[in-house]
Structure 1
Amino acid sequence: MNYTLNQLQIFLKIVQTKSVTKASEELHLTQPAVSIQLRNFQDQFDIPLTEVIGRKIYITDFGHEIAEAAENILNQVQAINYKTMAYKGQLAGKLKLSIVSTGKYIMPYFLADFMKVHTGIELQMDVTNKSKVLESLKNNEVDFALVSIVPTSLDIEQLDLLQNKLYLVGNTETEYNGEKNIKKVFQDLPLIFRENGSGTRQTMEKFIEQNDIAVLKKMELTSNEAVKQALIAGLGYSIMPLIGIKNELHNNELQIIPVEGLPIKTNWSLIWLKGKKHSPISKALLDYIKTEKRTIVQQKFNWYEQY
């Protein structure tokens, strides 16, 4: 046997994605390069690791066992690297976060300089909707979560990062008559919602309920980006977080429609389970954000205060 760590990594990724093409994309390699390494790895075994039926690759039972062994080997190698860096006094290991989809416009700015200093940290950041974020937090699968609505069902601690402001938004091609009474405005506007489980949708629905607004025309889309594109195309209007529409406002593709009761204001908060024993990495990040939060907000989000 003369397989390499690179071959183990490539084979494991093929097993995980069930595709040579997807594996090559995730590993940032060409498809021929991945295929060659798979063939070289297979040549070291008398028993097939994979079989191709039609144009689809299937992993054999033996292949699954080898993949499990490969994962264990790679984890051990990673552990050695972490221990080496830790022995030299450097932070090393995994930092796991789960953030709501619109949080991708915020969290990277609070991580960038920290990650540049601590190069031994491997960041795993899952970007999904609120319900899945809270599930990951509840199951203690992550160090921190970023949300715009703090959950009441979990015993958590929090650090507020930035105010969240939600406005009624539409494209700039449609003329707006200047009506500010929220009930009258919503009589004619087709309103676009995010999917169930979205924090933005929850905020919208709470606002509509509190103001006793009748929404006659309704559309549902499953991502913030999809909502933006629908608004630009003129399909309707939506209540959206300001943080996610910076470029569209500056490019004059979207406009904020001033109406009574808006913006809705909440906070973007980093949260973690109360009593959680932080790793040296997560504690270092928390200390860093507490110290640098004001500077980061002033440098990266100064445009935000214009609205």
Structure 2
Amino acid sequence: MRMTLRQLQVFTAVCESRSYSRAAEEMALTQPAVSLQIRQLEELVGQPLFEYIGKKLYLTDAADALKRASADIFQRLENLDMQLSDLQGSLQGQLNLAVESSAKYFVPHLFAAFKRQHPEVNLHLSVVNRAQVIKRLADNRDDLVIMSLVPQDMALEFLPFLNNPIVAVAPPDHPLCSAGQLTLKDLEPYPLLIREPGSGTRKACEEYFQQKHAHFAQTLEVGSLDALRESVAAGLGLALLPRHAVSLELATGLLRELAVEELPLYRSWCVVHARGKRVSPVGQAFLAFIRAERTQISALAARFAGTLPGPHPGS
């Protein structure tokens, strides 16, 4: 086979966009040029790579196999580039990181601390819910992912590195804010705002409610963490949210943390990758940073949560 990297780049663009025309725009090519590259690849492979059903483009089994091989090739080339830069005394490259949406508030601060040690490393951050994180792990889309509730039915390596406290929050004029010590049962008469199916926070809370025999008859599903936080502030109900996600609102008084006896619910943030995965040099450096800098990470998290005033750790 005499495939070219350019052909594989075009093929990958078609796979991701499921459209010849969108792939052409992305690659700054004409649509006939994209079609020609795909036809040449199909001749080399000896099988069709795509098929149209209705107006939708689908990958054939041959395309799925070629897509996995292409991803492996490009990952190896990227790793080679990182290794060569490392040999020159400077770690360079891009860290492809996927995180659960409730971690998006803390992770940029974590990466900033890492970047102070490796200033030539850049970040590509994908923010998704737990279900999407699991799919990205299965598809080997990222160098590393950060999530809680690591699935036990997948072959994964994971490193817990930080507590993720989930707390009950309410608007400041809510009657429970002046009620003193509470239990989960005290929250049950009020509407509870919950995340969409697939959310890690929702899954953790539902399992905890079942364990504690807590039942909320009135629930309202809100499709993003930001919208849920604003819905609480608007007085639509209570919510259980990661404290990191509402630190600013708690500090400014826009929201209040309720003193619930059974809370916070603690889950650990973990950095995760597939078992046996060839982690890129940048990914390996990020893992080494997390292992070596637990004290700095804990201090950074405390400052981010508004409990430790002062400059950034390491600055």
Tell me if TM exceeds 0.5.
Answer: yes
What is the DSSP-based 3-state SS (H/G/I as helix, E as strand, rest coil) of the residue aligned with 2:165? strand
Q: Which moved more, 1:160-169 or 1:278-287?
A: 278-287
Looking at structure 1, the residues matched to 169 and 107 of structure 2 have their Cα atoms a distance apart, in angstroms, of: 23
Q: Percent identity?
A: 26
What is the DSSP-based 3-state SS (H/G/I as helix, E as strand, rest coil) of the residue aligned with 2:287? helix
- The runs of 4+ residues in structure 1 deviating greater than 3 Å are 15-19, 60-67, 78-87, 116-122, 302-307
**Partner residue, 1:293:** 294
Answer yes or no: is the 8 Å Cα contact 2:183–2:262 preserved in 1.
no
What is the DSSP-based 3-state SS (H/G/I as helix, E as strand, rest coil) of the residue aligned with 1:301? helix
Looking at structure 2, the residues matched to 261 and 243 of structure 1 have their Cα atoms a distance apart, in angstroms, of: 18
Looking at structure 2, the residues matched to 151 and 284 of structure 1 have their Cα atoms a distance apart, in angstroms, of: 24
**After superposition, what is the alpha-carbon deviation per residue over 1:115-143, rounded to whole angstroms, capped at 9, x for unaligned?**
34434434222110011111111222222
What is the DSSP-based 3-state SS (H/G/I as helix, E as strand, rest coil) of the residue aligned with 2:188? helix
- Where structure 2 has 5 or more consecutive residues not aligned to the other structure, the ranges are 1-12, 39-69, 309-315
Structure 1 residues 65 and 127, CA gap change in structure 2 (3 angstroms): farther
**Partner residue, 1:94:** 94
Structure 1 residues 282 and 81, CA gap change in structure 2 (3 angstroms): closer
**Partner residue, 1:125:** 125
**Partner residue, 1:151:** 151
Question: Which AA in structure 1 matches 2:195?
Answer: R
**Partner residue, 2:187:** 185
**Partner residue, 2:224:** 223
Question: Which AA in structure 1 matches 2:271?
Answer: L
1:254 Cα deviation after fit: 0.4
Question: Which AA in structure 1 matches 2:170?
Answer: G
Structure 1 residues 267 and 66, CA gap change in structure 2 (3 angstroms): same
Looking at structure 2, the residues matched to 192 and 65 of structure 1 have their Cα atoms a distance apart, in angstroms, of: 52
Looking at structure 2, the residues matched to 169 and 237 of structure 1 have their Cα atoms a distance apart, in angstroms, of: 6
Looking at structure 2, the residues matched to 83 and 208 of structure 1 have their Cα atoms a distance apart, in angstroms, of: 48
Superposition pairs for residues 3-82 of structure 1, below 5 Å? 49=30, 60-62=31-33
**After superposition, what is the alpha-carbon deviation per residue over 1:52-79, rounded to whole angstroms, capped at 9, x for unaligned?**
xxxxxxxx44477699xxxx9xx9xx97
Answer yes or no: is the 8 Å Cα contact 2:97–2:143 preserved in 1.
yes
1:276 Cα deviation after fit: 2.6
**Partner residue, 1:104:** 104
Question: Which AA in structure 1 matches 2:192?
Answer: L
**Partner residue, 2:248:** 247
Looking at structure 1, the residues matched to 254 and 126 of structure 2 have their Cα atoms a distance apart, in angstroms, of: 29
Answer yes or no: is the 8 Å Cα contact 2:166–2:243 preserved in 1.
yes
Looking at structure 2, the residues matched to 83 and 157 of structure 1 have their Cα atoms a distance apart, in angstroms, of: 23
Looking at structure 1, the residues matched to 146 and 163 of structure 2 have their Cα atoms a distance apart, in angstroms, of: 13
1:87 Cα deviation after fit: 5.7
Looking at structure 1, the residues matched to 93 and 183 of structure 2 have their Cα atoms a distance apart, in angstroms, of: 53
1:244 Cα deviation after fit: 0.6
Question: Which AA in structure 2 matches 1:185?
Answer: L
1:258 Cα deviation after fit: 1.6
What is the DSSP-based 3-state SS (H/G/I as helix, E as strand, rest coil) of the residue aligned with 2:179? coil
Structure 1 residues 109 and 238, CA gap change in structure 2 (3 angstroms): same
1:292 Cα deviation after fit: 1.8
Looking at structure 2, the residues matched to 250 and 130 of structure 1 have their Cα atoms a distance apart, in angstroms, of: 27
Answer yes or no: is the 8 Å Cα contact 2:161–2:270 preserved in 1.
yes
What is the DSSP-based 3-state SS (H/G/I as helix, E as strand, rest coil) of the residue aligned with 2:157? strand
Answer yes or no: is the 8 Å Cα contact 1:110–1:293 preserved in 2.
no
**Partner residue, 2:312:** none
Answer yes or no: is the 8 Å Cα contact 2:99–2:128 preserved in 1.
yes
**Partner residue, 2:207:** 206
Q: Which moved more, 1:213-222 or 1:104-113?
A: 104-113
1:303 Cα deviation after fit: 5.9
Figure out how many residues of one structure are paired with residues of the other and give that number: 257
**Partner residue, 1:115:** 115
1:152 Cα deviation after fit: 1.1
1:195 Cα deviation after fit: 0.4
Answer yes or no: is the 8 Å Cα contact 1:94–1:122 preserved in 2.
yes
Looking at structure 2, the residues matched to 110 and 170 of structure 1 have their Cα atoms a distance apart, in angstroms, of: 28
Question: Which AA in structure 2 matches 1:183?
Answer: K
- Where structure 1 has 5 or more consecutive residues not aligned to the other structure, the ranges are 1-11, 24-40, 43-48, 50-59
